[in-house]
Amino acid sequence: MTTELNQQQIAKIIEGLLFVASEPVSIKYLGSVIDCANDEIEAALDVLRESGNERGIRLQRQGSKVQLVSAPELTDYVERFLGVTVSGKFSTPALETLAIIAYRQPITRPEIEAIRGVNSDGVLRTLISKGLVEEVGRLDSVGHPSLFATTFEFLRYFGLNDMDELPELNLPQIELPKNGSGSGEPGLDEESDSLD
């Protein structure tokens, strides 16, 4: 681009791009489209985040990707407008598993089970099917177990702008399996994968 853009102009451009984006956009890609350095994009994102606090949209961020979402306090109006209702009930096992993933991500299924003390296959499948958790890679160890983390939908569902807004927790230190594999013992209790 031939003209020098100020921070407000960059923020305005980013807002327009994110408005038309159908999915989260990487900061690097925004920089390449606008022809700006990453630090200029970051500064403009801060401007956009601050201005969104007084409006009906929020800037949501997960890692190096951002997107625009409706403000969480408008959920009832948005649901009514779209004619949808969202089931807001989670089972205790689902909430436990989701909290473990949110605070320890990326994490493997055997690590989740070591913390919970029970088989978590069903609950994990349900959280994935709801779009709250996703596989983000594989652990470089024996068996290469899948690594799981929360998604943008998790942030949207709980009304968070980014993971830094999770409340501080003093989690106990739990010895996790060294090789990413669980005990493999058949005596683990099965739990319902219901979210209700």
- For residue 189 the two structure tokens come to 């209790």
Which residue has tokens 């921070």? 7
What pLDDT score was predicted for residue 192?
Answer: 41
Q: Closest by alpha carbon to 29, among 19, 20, 17?
A: 17
Determine how β-strand 107-108 pairs with β-strand 57-62: unpaired
User: Is the Cβ–Cβ distance between 149 and 80 less than 8 Å?
Assistant: no
Number of neighbouring beta carbons within 10 Å of residue 116: 17
Q: Can you tell me the distance from the alpha carbon of 32 to that of 146, in angstroms, rounded to the nearest whole number?
A: 32
Q: DSSP for 95-156?
A: HHHHHHHHHH-SEEHHHHHHHHSS--HHHHHHHHHTTSEEEEEE-SSTT-PEEEEE-HHHHH
What are residue 52's phi and psi, to 5 degrees?
-70, -25
User: Is the Cβ–Cβ distance between 153 and 67 less than 8 Å?
Assistant: no
Number of neighbouring beta carbons within 10 Å of residue 22: 6
Fold of the domain built from segment(s) 7-81:
Arc Repressor Mutant, subunit A (1.10.10)
Cα angle vertex 26, ends 20, 29, to 5°?
80
Range(s) of the chain covered by CATH 1.10.10.10: 7-81, 87-196
Please list the pLDDT of the chain residue by residue as tens digits (196 residues).
Answer: 446 899 999 999 999 999 999 889 999 999 999 999 999 999 999 999 888 888 888 898 988 999 998 888 887 888 788 776 655 677 888 889 999 999 999 999 999 999 988 988 889 998 998 889 999 999 888 888 999 999 988 988 888 888 888 888 775 665 555 544 444 433 333 344 444 4
User: Is the Cβ–Cβ distance between 15 and 68 less than 8 Å?
Assistant: yes
87-196 CATH:
1.10.10.10
